[in-house]
Amino acid sequence: MDVGSLARTILGFVAIVAIGWGLKRVGLLRAEDSRPINNIIVYVALPALIFQAVHPARLEPNLALIAALAWAVFVASAALAWAACRFLGVSRPVAGGFILAAALGNTGYIGYPVALAVLGDRGLVRAIFYDVFGTVAALLFVGLFVAQRLGSSDERVNPFREAVLFPAVLALFAALALRSVAIPDVVSSGLDSLASLVVPLIMISVGLSLRFGSVRDHAVPLAALVAIRLVVAPLVALGVGTVVLDDPDAVRLVVLQAGMPAMMLTLVIGARFKLDTDFIASAILVTTVLSVVTIPLMQLVAVA
């Protein structure tokens, strides 16, 4: 896929976000309606997408390295985000949202379809391992504690329980366990239909959560977050990936995934632990819009 086609793909995602926002503006949906939509995505559509991608795929040794690289990007991004929050003196609820949004990219909802479009089926399988064993694992084992520490909720988390019960993880292990089992066509067709819901539903959910005034209110922290999420993170992936990976397409994949906009699940986590969800929604909006430019640019750097 050329740079122009990649930019058009991401712009298509942004257009669906705008539809969600428009539905809220005209009163057909409310911001609160994003919660049941998120539940459909997390518990139904996303597991179907992961199962359908991994079940027939040929696995490779590089997948473990790709997951390890995801952790390296997360650690570097989280450390920079924490330092930026200290320097800017933001409130604890904003800091929690800042660290999550800066360190955790949208490597599933946007990463999967973009990886498939850019690098094909093999790229999608690599993107899933980067996402589930990297981004999702980092969210469950570190991100939840950050949200709990900086939010005002009294809820306590057990990361091992969260990981075992997380639908995306269950779907991945089910796909691996059933690789030798032929899936009936009627079941496979149904799973394909459910998987196709992921992108439009999550984009509409983000549109329902947006409040543009928050972008103006948090202009400086958002600028710092954009720099970390869309520029520094993919450059870290490129530097480390070039050293440890021997496949140029694998390097392109980790750069692609590392440069994804802010993870949309951070909005769900922010609401759960009472972080500043206006800030998180603004971070998702700004990084998603700007990623139309930065993702193609970073791909050009990766292949240079």
Task: Specify the 3-state DSSP secondary structure of 273.
Answer: coil
- List C-alpha distances in Å: 204 to 43, 199, 248, 288: 17, 9, 34, 13
56: region left, alpha or beta (phi > 0 left; psi from -120 to 50 alpha): alpha
| Spans of the chain below 50 pLDDT | none
- Predicted confidence at residue 92, as pLDDT, reads 93
pLDDT, one tens digit per residue, over 192-201 is 899 888 778 8
The reported pLDDT for the residue numbered 89 is 93
pLDDT at 3: 63
User: What is the structure's pLDDT at 214?
Assistant: 67
pLDDT recorded at residue 26: 93
Nearest one of 228, 258, 232 to 245, comparing CA atoms = 258
**Rg, Å, the chain Cα set:** 18
d(CA 196, CA 45): 7
pLDDT at 2: 59
Residue 167 contacts residue 46 (beta carbons within 8 Å): yes
Distances (CA, A) of 29 to 65, 183, 210: 43, 37, 13
Per-residue confidence (pLDDT) for residue 82, from 0 to 100: 97
With CA atoms as reference, report the closest residue to 39 among 270, 282, 201, 273.
Answer: 201
pLDDT of residue 262: 94
Give this prediction's pTM. Answer: 0.82
Three-state SS string over 218-243 comes to CHHHHHHHHHHHHHHHHHHHHHHHHH
Interhelix angle 277-303/219-226, nearest 10 degrees: 30
CB 251 within 8 Å of CB 242: yes
- State the Cα–Cα distance between residues 172 and 165, nearest whole angstrom: 12
Q: Rounded to a whole number, what is the distance in angstroms from the first to the last CA of the chain? A: 16
Encode pLDDT of 212-264 as tens digits. 666 777 889 999 999 999 999 999 999 999 999 989 999 999 999 999 999 97
